[in-house]
Structure 1
Amino acid sequence: MDILYILTSIFLVLFMVLATYDGFYLHLWKYKLYQHNESNFEHKTHTVRAILFPIIVWCLLIENSLEFFIIGMVLTFVDLIVLGFDAYSEKDSRDFMGGLPRWEYIIHLFANGFHYAIIALTIGIKLSIEGNSIYYITAPISTSLASNILTIVAENAIPGAVILAFLHVFLLFQNTQNIWDSYRNRINCC
């Protein structure tokens, strides 16, 4: 069972690195997707996904109850639908920059692969199949080093994810975009 915890921890770290690079640096800093009419819808889908992510992490990786598991799985399903709309809109939303760069498309594939691998592994950790029945494991599954590491990684993912979600919401509005841009333009790198 420890291998599931270890893989989930690794994939969560990899997802956070790629999501931060893509969601913060590329989308908000470099390309300023929130400023372009073509990419306005894409920014909104990223905002929804940025809000959902820390809640899903909390429900699936930190809380240990059937109710939170169900909420986390429902939100995961909502996230999957939003991802579909996001992916469908990206071709048109990147017209202002000549289309989505191939390397960024690859980043999206890996980031979303890690994201949904985390979900699949979590299902493997939290559900048990016995005969023809599926059971939610209500007792703490493990107190091993591997499970403790996953809890620490998940708890530490929440603050950064909340900040990134807040920033996405902040940039939905013209007045706050102007504030962001005035500070962003003072930095002459990247």
Structure 2
Amino acid sequence: MEILLILASVCLVLFMVLATYDGFYLHIFKYSLFNHEESTFEHITHTIRAVLFPMIVWSLFVNETGATLFLFGIGLVVLDLVVLGIDAYSETESRKFMGGLPKWEYIIHLFSNSLHFAAIVLVLAIKIDVVEGSLLFVNAIPLSLAKEVFMFVSLNLVPGAIVLALLHGALLLHKPKSLWNTYRSKISCC
């Protein structure tokens, strides 16, 4: 179990680095997808996934209280997969204004989504036990350094993920979008 906790922690950290670079820097800061009419739908799918992520982490990674919240988290993962499929399908049309999705950004999407779902699969392997042909939710993972690191990573990425989700959501609204564009236009780097 120790190695699974370490691997899940590493996957989460690497995912958050790539997701922040892609979701904040590329999508919001550099390309301003929310400003392009053809990219609005893509921005909405990103917003939905940004909202789902901290709830997935809380219900699957942090939750040690019961199976109901855990099952809710699994449902969120299924919803996340559906939204990811819709997002991927729509990206061709969404990125026409910039000549299509750059190959290197496509590669970032592949790696970040792979790390995202690898972390989830590792957590499922940790928190689901098979006993006499039945699946059981593991309420408490034994205390260890690996668990402490895993919980530290999981708990500390939730606030940043919530901020990114709120920013995505705010940029769907006219006033925050206008405010963002005003301040963004004053930054000449990047």
The two structures have a TM-score, normalised by structure 1, of 0.98
Runs of 4+ in 1 over 6 A off after TM superposition: none
Task: Tell me the distance in 1 between the aligned counterparts of 2:150 and 2:141.
Answer: 12
Task: Tell me the distance in 2 between the aligned counterparts of 1:66 and 1:130.
Answer: 15
Q: What is the aligned-residue identity percentage?
A: 53
1:85 aligned partner:
86
The amino acid that maps onto 2:165 is A
1:184 aligned partner:
184
2:51 aligned partner:
51
Structure 2 runs not aligned, ≥5 long: none
Task: Tell me the distance in 1 between the aligned counterparts of 2:57 and 2:110.
Answer: 20
1:152 aligns with 2:189: no
Which sits farther off after the overlay, 49-58 or 128-137? 128-137
Task: Tell me the distance in 2 between the aligned counterparts of 1:45 and 1:72.
Answer: 19
1:117 aligned partner:
118
The amino acid that maps onto 1:49 is R
Count of aligned pairs: 189
Task: Tell me the distance in 2 between the aligned counterparts of 1:104 and 1:163.
Answer: 23
Task: Tell me the distance in 1 between the aligned counterparts of 2:20 and 2:3.
Answer: 26
1:74 aligns with 2:75: yes
Shift of 1:188: 1.2
Task: Tell me the distance in 2 between the aligned counterparts of 1:142 and 1:87.
Answer: 39
Shift of 1:125: 0.5
Which sits farther off after the overlay, 19-28 or 171-180? 171-180
1:134 alignment partner, SS class = strand
Deviations 1:87-109 (A, max 9, x none): 00001100000000000000000
2:38 aligned partner:
38
Task: Tell me the distance in 1 between the aligned counterparts of 2:21 and 2:138.
Answer: 35
Task: Tell me the distance in 2 between the aligned counterparts of 1:78 and 1:121.
Answer: 19
Shift of 1:130: 2.6
The amino acid that maps onto 2:178 is N
Shift of 1:137: 1.3
CA RMSD of aligned residues (A): 0.7
1:128 aligns with 2:129: yes
2:2 aligned partner:
2
The amino acid that maps onto 1:9 is S
1:155 alignment partner, SS class = helix
The amino acid that maps onto 1:97 is M
1:137 aligned partner:
138
Shift of 1:187: 1.1
1:8-23 matched pairs, under 5 angstroms: 8-23=8-23
Task: Tell me the distance in 1 between the aligned counterparts of 2:34 and 2:138.
Answer: 42
1:95 aligned partner:
96
Task: Tell me the distance in 2 between the aligned counterparts of 1:131 and 1:185.
Answer: 62
